[in-house]
Amino acid sequence: MVVDFSKDARPNPPSSPSATPESEDATSKHRLEPSQPVWLSSEELGFVATDAKTHQSTVYSVHNTGKHWSKPRAVFTAPVPISSVQYNAVSNTLVFIANVYNGTTTLDETAELDVADQERDDTAQVFDELWVRHWDSFVTPKLPQIHAVQLRSHSSNTKPKHKPKNIIKDSDVDGRLEAADSFVISPNGQHVVFVAKRPGRDYAWRTTSYVYVADIDGSSASPINDNGRGASSSPVFSSDGSRIAYVQMASPTYEADRNQIHIYSVEDKTTIDVAVDWDRSPSDLLWADDNTLLAAYNEYGRNKLAKIDIASGTVTPVVEEHSVGLMQHVPHSNELLISYSALDSPTDLYKVSIDDGSIKRVTQLNPQLGSSVFLSAPEDVVFEGAEGSSIHGFLLRPPNFDASQTYPLAYVIHGGPQGSFTDAWSTRWNLNIFAAAG
C-alpha cells in the first residue's frame, strides 16, 4: 500500500478565487476560453470551454454567416471536464472522453463524488495496486472513458436528445477500461474504435493493449485483436467502415518493439498483416484509398511519411525531410493537410501531394521568429558508439560560428530505444535555444 501526501490528491482540487477571469462570454457572465475546436457542419464550428470553478465543460457552436461568425451558443454542457471531442454528422453524435469513477452510471454521479471528495478533511490518497504514478502525476481513482451523446437536428435545436452514455462501461472487463489512445468514430457513426489495456496485477509493467470496437449506444465493447501480445495503437476505419487498420508490437513487456501493421475485416472478423518485411516501425496510420495506407515512421532522426500498397506490401516514401506530425485528408483531393516542422522551423500547416510528395505551405504562424532568434540549421553527424555501433545525431552551431575558435559543447542524449531527438520543433526541449546562447 502506498499513501500519497505530497500534494492535494483530490481529482479536482479547489481552484483559487483568481482562477476564473471576470469578463464576458456569450451570456455576458464569464469570458470563454475556447479549446478543442470541432466542425459540426461546413458552416458551424464547435468548441469546448471549461469553467475553472465548477469544472463543467460546455460545447458551444458558432455559425459562419458569410461575413462574420455568430455569437457562441451553448450546445451541450457536461458536469465534469471533457476532452478529445469529436462529432459524426451521419449519426449527429458528439463523442468525448471524461474521467469517471468506476461503477458510476452517469456523469452527474462523478460530479457529485468530486464535490464530496473536495469536502474531505484530508487530501491523502491510498493505492492498493502497483499502478501508482505515471511520469509526474499520481494515478487517481478515476478512469478516462468514452462517452457519446446524440444531438437534435440542426433544423430545430442542437441540444442533446438524451444524457451522455458511457459506451465502454459495459465492456468485457467489468468496466475498468481506460481509453489509452485517440478514438475514431466509424463513418456511419455507429461504432467507436479505441485502444485500452485490461486491468490486472501486472498492469504496471505489462504493455499489452488491445483495439476495442464499441457500439455507439454502449451495448457492447470488445477487442478485435484478443490474441495480440504487445502494445496496440493508431486504429483507423477505412472510408466505408468495413476494415480497421492498426499497429501492434509483438512483445508484451518491451516498449521499443517494432510496430507491425494489421488490417481487420469487420464482417469476416479476420486479420491480415501488411508490409511484414519493412524494417521500420510505423506509427500513425491513415487510409489513402481502399488499396493504400499512409504511415508515419521515424528514420535517421526524421519523422517521415510513406504510402504502403496493401496487397504487395511495397513501401514508397512520400515525405523524407524534417518531421511530419498530424495528418488529415483534404476533402475531394489527393492531398493531405499535415503539421510539419524542423529543428530550425516551428510547426506550421502544409499540404502534401500523396502522388509525388510535393509540399505547399499553408500557414506561417511565427514569421518574426527568424529575425529575433538565431536558429541553426541542423547538420547530420555519425560517430562510433558502444561495441562499434553507428550513432546518428544532429549538430547545431552557435551564431557567427568560427571554425578557428573553441566553443563549449552540450552533448544531449534523449530517448532510447523507444524515442529519440528528431529534426522537429519542440517547445519543451528546444536545443536550438542552447546553441543560440553560444
Question: How do residues 331-347 score in pLDDT, each as one tens digit?
Answer: 889 999 999 999 999 99
Burial class (CB in 10 A: 0-12, 13-18, 19+), 299: middle
d(CA 167, CA 20): 32
d(CA 288, CA 316): 13
Identify the pLDDT of residue 66.
Answer: 84
List 384's β-bridge partners, or say none.
390
Determine phi and psi for 6, rounding to 5 degrees.
Answer: -75, -20
Number of other residues whose CB lies within 10 A of the CB of residue 367 = 7
Residue given cell 488529415 in the structure block: 328
Identify the pLDDT of residue 413.
Answer: 85
d(CA 337, CA 361): 10
Identify the pLDDT of residue 27.
Answer: 47
Identify the pLDDT of residue 414.
Answer: 77
d(CA 84, CA 180): 12
All three cell numbers of 437, joined, read: 546562447
Burial class (CB in 10 A: 0-12, 13-18, 19+), 368: exposed
Q: Which residues of the chain have pLDDT under 70?
A: 1-30, 153-159, 161, 171-175, 181, 415-417
- pLDDT by residue (tens digit) across 291-314? 999 999 999 999 999 999 999 999
Identify the pLDDT of residue 310.
Answer: 97
List 280's β-bridge partners, or say none.
none
Burial class (CB in 10 A: 0-12, 13-18, 19+), 77: middle
Q: Tell which residue, 130, 92, 89, 99, has the closest CA to residue 1.
A: 130
Q: Judge contact between 344 and 358, C-beta under 8 A.
A: no
Residue given cell 504510402 in the structure block: 307
